[in-house]
Chains A and B, each alone.
Chain A
Amino acid sequence: MFLADYIKSVYNGVTSLLKGMRMTGYYFVHPKEIITQQYPEVKQVLPERFRGEVVMTHNENNEHRCTGCTACELACPNATIKVVTRFDITPDGKKKKALETFVYHLELCTLCNLCIAACPTDAIRMAQTFEHSVYDRKLLTKRLDKPGSKLMEGVE
């Protein structure tokens, strides 16, 4: 009786093992079903909504859309963004807020998209870059507005 049970359990073990091995064998002779990507050689095209880092959009005349309202700075949970503003005197003698520098700390950013949702003028967007490794941590603190850029006409 004991021997019959023993032989039965061995038989069951071997058959279920073979069932599993059949699956392994199937994938061995069907290399088309392998989905591994050869990453550094072949780079995947990332979707347009992918959150890589925050960038500021500039047009061909080196103009941006940021009015310096600091809505993104207030929306950010980690103090990633620091907007430095100045006051310009308009021709009719009024003071007007304008962007001086837009400082972005990539090392603090969690890519939560709240700053982009908060921006009223679509001045910033997410870029699809993801290879952010650098040797010096200071390189991760970036200035997003290009030097010499100014506010686009008609953006309030």
Chain B
Amino acid sequence: MIEEVGTTTEGDLIINVGPQHPSTHGVLHLVITLNGETVKNVEPRLGYIHRSIEKMCESLTYRQFIYVTSRMDYLSSHINNQACALVVEKALKIEVPERAQAIRVLMAELTRMASHLLWWGALGMDVGAFTPFFHAFRERELINDIMEETCGTRLTMNYMVPGGVMADLHPDFQKKVKEFITMFKSKIDEYDTLVTGNIIFQNRMKGVGYISGEDALSYGCTGPVLRASGVKCDIRKLAPYDGYDKLQFEEVIETGGDSYARYLVRMRELKQSLSIIEQLLDNIPEGDFQAKTKAVLKPPKGEFYTRVETARGELGVYVISEGGLTPYRIKFRSPGFSNLSALHHMTKGSKIGDLVATMGTLDLVIPDIDR
């Protein structure tokens, strides 16, 4: 634990980045030991946005605690809500109708696209390009409009409920999503022209922030960070939920392990999500959008665990029930926390400018890390 800011006995400089710093995407505090411009040690300090969500959930009923989890990883709030709904359904053995499952998958993939788009824009800002941010937000705005029309809100939806979804799809949903798909397909080549093919961007990304597959596994990395190191870890493939096993999609794997590989994984995932949406959009099954559940949910005594693939990696929800109205204990295994822990390994020995670029490719959401 470094307590002082200044110089060490070896003459290294200790500086603080954050908690209020534009490149840390929120209130992340990094204590960095520098030798000249070379990073020797990175130590994240957490707790600036800790709201004790896990403790808060213990005083809420099984219907109420879902809305709080939108505030953890606010960029993939649908998928967080889905994980919580799934764990309650598992405990109560509720069968979710096929239509509800299809709606959930559609919403989750739209959320994943919105999240990756925001990441792409923010990464451009991290490496010094301002234009990508506007391009990404133009497309993301369309997704937010679709969400607003069906779910009622733009960011913290609370649309998933135990047994299905809160309301049926808006009649215009399919038309709007088709418009979005045509628009997005005409624009996605711009992304490659603007950023991917740019030689300055490639020099900033290639060979920077390398982590091997073994090391990434030992740090507990999941999601695009681990897949960029060549390890298969997509929960949608490993333990399918909500009908992902019936869909045709490819698990994106890159073997580079550096920042550029992580970038490519997310860019290719955008196209995979688009193909999932296209498969489902015209084949949404008819039927109920919500299973019939009791007004008061009382899961039996026991321990329940589910995991889902959010835009950042594996989110696990662990619930201990004592048979009462509220959960006895809830634990969230969030992807951001483990991905952040590998930052030290990735950036040791690199230049301080590359630290910010590497941190950008980790796609950190600080409320998800602190909870």
Contacts and interface: CB of A to CB of B under 8 A. Distances in A.
A35 B190 CA distance: 17
A111 B159 CA distance: 11
A5 to B, nearest CB: 13
A20 B167 contact: no
A26 to B, nearest CB: 9
A20 B198 contact: yes
Contact of B60 (A17, A77, A126): A77
A50 B68 CA distance: 19
A93 to B, nearest CB: 31
A129 to B, nearest CB: 13
A35 B150 contact: no
Query: Which range contains the number of B residues in contact with the other chain?
Result: 20 to 34
A13 B199 contact: yes
Contacts of B67: 77, 110, 112, 114
A51 B70 CA distance: 16
A46 B141 CA distance: 14
A50 B148 CA distance: 6
A75 B197 contact: no
B152 A113 contact: yes
B63 interface: yes
A117 B64 contact: no
Interface string B42-79: 00000000000000000010011101100000000000
Contacts of A121: none
B161 A20 contact: no
A49 interface: yes
A59 interface: no
B181 interface: no
Nearest to B60: A77
B148 A47 contact: yes
Given A13-B200, A35-B138, A77-B60, A113 B150 contact: no
Contacts of B167: 49
Contacts of A15: 199
A117 B166 CA distance: 8
B64 A47 contact: no
B110 to A, nearest CB: 16
B93 interface: no
Nearest to B161: A117
Contacts, number: 67
A51 B152 contact: yes
B197 A16 contact: yes
A119 to B, nearest CB: 12
A14 to B, nearest CB: 9
A12 B200 CA distance: 9
B20 interface: no
B156 interface: yes
A35 B153 CA distance: 20
Interface in A64-104: 75-77
A19 interface: yes
A55 B60 CA distance: 24
B170 A16 contact: no
A133 interface: no
A23 B131 contact: yes
A23 B193 contact: yes
B197 A19 contact: yes
A87 B147 CA distance: 43
B338 to A, nearest CB: 28
A109 B193 CA distance: 44
B131 A47 contact: no
Given A77-B60, A77-B64, A110-B67, A23 B194 contact: yes
A81 to B, nearest CB: 13
A19 B200 contact: no
A35 B141 contact: yes
A24 interface: yes
Given A47-B170, A77-B64, A16 B153 contact: no
A47 B149 contact: yes
Contact of B153 (A20, A23, A51): A51
Which of B60, B150, B199 has most chain A Cβ within 10 Å? Answer: B199
B158 interface: yes
14 contacts: A17-B198, A19-B193, A23-B193, A46-B148, A47-B148, A50-B153, A51-B152, A75-B63, A77-B60, A77-B64, A77-B67, A112-B158, A113-B152, A113-B158
Interface of A: 9, 12-13, 15-17, 19-20, 23-24, 35, 46-47, 49-51, 75-77, 110-114, 117, 126
Given A20-B198, A112-B158, A113-B166, 10 more contacts: A16-B198, A17-B198, A19-B198, A20-B131, A35-B141, A47-B170, A50-B152, A76-B64, A113-B152, A117-B161
